[in-house]
Chain A
Amino acid sequence: MTDVSASILTTADGKPLKAALAASQARARRKAFMLVAPLFLFVVITFVIPIGQMLFQSVYNDTFSATAPALRQWFDENPPGTEPDEAAYAALVSDLRLMREERSAGAAGTRINYDISGTRSMFTGMARKADKLEPPYKEAVLAEDKKWDNPDVWRAMRSASSPFTIDFYLAALDMTRDETGSIVGVKEGQAVYKMLFGRTLFLSALITVMCMALAFPIAHMLATLPMAKSNLLMILVLLPFWTSLLVRTTSWMVLLQSQGVVNDFLVWAGIVGDDGRIQMMYNQIGTVVAMTHILLPFMVLPLYSVMRTIPPSYVRAARSLGATSWTAFRRIYLPQTLPGIGAGALLVFILAVGYYITPALVGGADGQLISNLIAFHMQKSLNWSLAAALAALLLGGILILYWLYDRLVGIDNMKLG
């Protein structure tokens, strides 16, 4: 290297070219940022922050730990598995007094109740009596309520005494901690979430495949018909979009129920007897049929937009080169529709995995998806942390699928419209 400055390009008056370029584009960049700023703020305030906070709840829950400082200290000083001694009960009583003062015994009890059901009342009951208790506290507490002797309760309190925990994720994966604090699977018959995750993925995959099988011919027809006719048919495809989701779901209820249109027809046609009406609703069939119908446009549209851009001359060229119509379809047409198939499948699958209303209405017990359970924990059991953990697992799973898709097909190959 003889001259270092020669390698840095400069403008005519000696400024570095890169700096000059940045300066000349700064104004345009500022303007562009101002244009997207409202949307950016809107997304941050209404989407990123709430979801972030929700996800944070899956690892952070201080409803118990905030009002149990003494217990927390005792748990810190003694390793897991230590028999609760007089000091432990003293800490418990002091914390119960604090809970009574702050009226937080219910909330703290609920937190322990997540782990061991039927324990909430122990906290509310004992907190009421906490002021009257005299030392030695261990005997006093156990005299009032024998259940405080239960080591499970103490283990649950130990894990809840720290606001940060992965216990909700363990619960979401059907796992728990045993006496020594190591992670084990829950008892047979209590496991629900893994099965539900599996069912959600399986049903979503099934719905995606069904949508693909139905949408491919429709999209092909739309793409090859003359514009005027295809526009008319396109309206029919889009019509469900403009109808309320509830209306569409309830119309499937009208069709599929055991006294519904489909069963009436089958009985009338003599295919099934009046006592042999097919159960098509409040089970997985109902969920799959209704969701396939509702998600179909999401498959048709990307496929159509890709097919529209494939000139008929490709298939013609293949035919003239000696390929039968099937070979021309398989070797020439189908590979070119892959970006559409990929986009549609990903879209339908992701939507299906998170679907809530339709399975809730037509799914019954068998056709429930994971999102229905998330909603249950949000609305009924009020275990938001568990709901957040389930949602985070779902989100993570989808991100992994998205990443896999990117590796296999390439996200830039995807065409959504």
Chain B
Amino acid sequence: MTNAADDEGFVVFDRVQKSYDGETLVVKDLNLSIGKGEFLTMLGPSGSGKTTCLMMLAGFETATHGEIRLGGENINNVPPHKRGIGMVFQNYALFPHMTVGENLAFPLEVRGMGKSEREQKVKRALDMVQMGNFINRRPAQLSGGQQQRIALARALVFDPKLVLMDEPLGALDKQLREHMQFEIKHLHETLGITVVYVTHDQGEALTMSDRVAVFNDGRIQQLAPPDELYERPQNSFVAQFIGENNKLPGVVETLSGDKCTVRLETGEIIDATPVNVREAGQKTLVSIRPERVEFKSEMMPEGAHTIGAEVLEVIYMGDIFRTRMRVAGSEEFVMKSRNTLGQTKLVEGEKIQIGWHPQDARALDPM
């Protein structure tokens, strides 16, 4: 194993394609490099190819074309049991006829490990997930969250180089899910393992990952750290898939360097930052996060264009107000404002002027 493989390309997908029926590609030309110790999330809607990628990495599916390397070695023809990859399955896949202890001992047993060493490792792994007292229970006697922890411990007990997680928190309720997100994150940090995590829950992806690969239509749409992904989406799909988003269709009016103006369908002109538009006159979709929309003139940056809006609905959500407005013909334009002391209360039918920093309005390709 070379150093280069250690740092940059611990797991490498090199021009990988996958087809199940020989007619359509589920994964199209995937190039992805995952560093050692990285927590990478594959995020995307169902059918986007993310689970197929994971299954190819685990060895349950073979790549139709291209190469998958682990630690610098081509593993295309290595059977799953020789890859040394730990995996947490969607429904945990804990063996129902074995106790928790036997479940954890299984990977050690098939590796021919001695009894005393096995017991020691099982105990350590169970303590790691705070389930030391459950060693003699059967999976059916555990709650969903407990089963989740055991599945995690089982995937880690044989010290794998790489751990794959296939929507592991999908079956848990919201509170437990959030709690487990932090626990998995902490385990990742303390153990220093490489994790490839598959989910369709964007919140989960943003909370846990070092980098997120957004999948759609068999391709990676954007590969970036969570903050960049949220604040600087590279195309309309990513902008819409990650977080809430206001979309205003229009045509690029002027374009100079990192600034542009866009004429909306109803004639108004707004400021925006060009992301993947190349010339004036091109159709575009301007995307603005609801929490970056301002309606108080003192908060607006100097020289910014403002636009008229009619309040349609104000929803009290506790920490924020969610205001739905009619803007440039769209009735789905949403503004989120913090519920601070002395916040201006908007009422239905009120006409206001809204605006935003040009950096927050991103002119993307029309879908």
Does A316 lie within 8 Å of B106, measured CB to CB? Answer: no
Find A318's partner among B84, B97, B106 (CB 8 Å cutoff): B106
Interface size grouping (class) on chain A: 10 to 19
Is A319 a contact of B97 with CB atoms below 8 Å? no
- A335: chain B residues at CB < 8 Å are 97
Please, which residues of chain A bring their CB within 8 A of the CB of B60? 316, 319
- Which residue of A311, A313, A322, A328 has the most chain B CB atoms within 10 A of its CB atom? A322
A313, B91: Cβ atoms closer than 8 Å: yes
Contacts A316-B60, A316-B80, A317-B87: A323 and B106 contacting too (C-beta < 8 A)? yes
A314-B96 Cα distance, complex, nearest whole Å: 9
For the complex of A and B, the 7 pairs showing the least CB-CB separation, nearest first, are A321-B107, A317-B93, A313-B93, A320-B87, A319-B80, A323-B110, A335-B97
Q: Nearest B residue to A313 by beta-carbon distance?
A: B93
**A313-B90, A313-B91, A314-B93 known; A320+B110 contact, CB < 8 A:** no
Q: B179 contacts the other chain (Cβ, under 8 Å)?
A: no
Given contacts A321-B106, A321-B154, A335-B97, contact A313 B89 (CB under 8 A): yes
In Å, the complex CA distance between A328 and B158 comes to: 17
A332: Cβ under 8 A from any B Cβ: yes
Residue of B nearest to A310 (CB): B96
- Chain A residues 310 to 345 lying within 8 A of chain B, measured CB to CB, are 311, 313-314, 316-325, 327-328, 331-332, 335-336
Q: B249 interface residue, CB < 8 Å from A?
A: no
Across-interface contacts of B82 in A (CB, < 8 A): 322
**Contacts A316-B60, A320-B85, A324-B81: A311 and B91 contacting too (C-beta < 8 A)?**
yes
Nearest B residue to A327 by beta-carbon distance? B110
Return 17 A-B CB contacts under 8 Å, by A number: A311-B91, A314-B93, A316-B58, A316-B80, A316-B87, A319-B59, A319-B79, A321-B87, A321-B155, A321-B158, A322-B111, A322-B158, A323-B81, A324-B110, A327-B110, A332-B95, A336-B97
Give B residues with C-beta under 8 Å from A.
58-60, 79-87, 89-91, 93, 95-97, 106-107, 110-111, 154-155, 158, 164
With a cutoff of 8 Å between Cβ atoms, the chain B residues found around residue A328 in the complex are 81
A313 vs B94: C-alpha distance when bound (angstroms): 9
What is the number of contacts between chain A and chain B, taking CB atoms within 8 Å?
64
Contact between chains at A320 and B97 (CB < 8 Å)? no
CB distance from A307 to the nearest CB of B (A): 14
The residue in chain A whose Cβ has the minimal distance to the Cβ of B97 is: A335
Measured CB to CB, the closest approach of chain B to A93, in angstroms, equals: 75
Min distance, Cβ A311 to any Cβ of chain B, angstroms: 7
Least distance between B96 CB and chain A CB atoms (Å): 7
CB A201 to nearest CB in B, in angstroms, measures 30
A:40-65 near B, CB below 8 Å: none
Q: Which B residues are in CB contact (< 8 Å) with A323?
A: 81, 106-107, 110
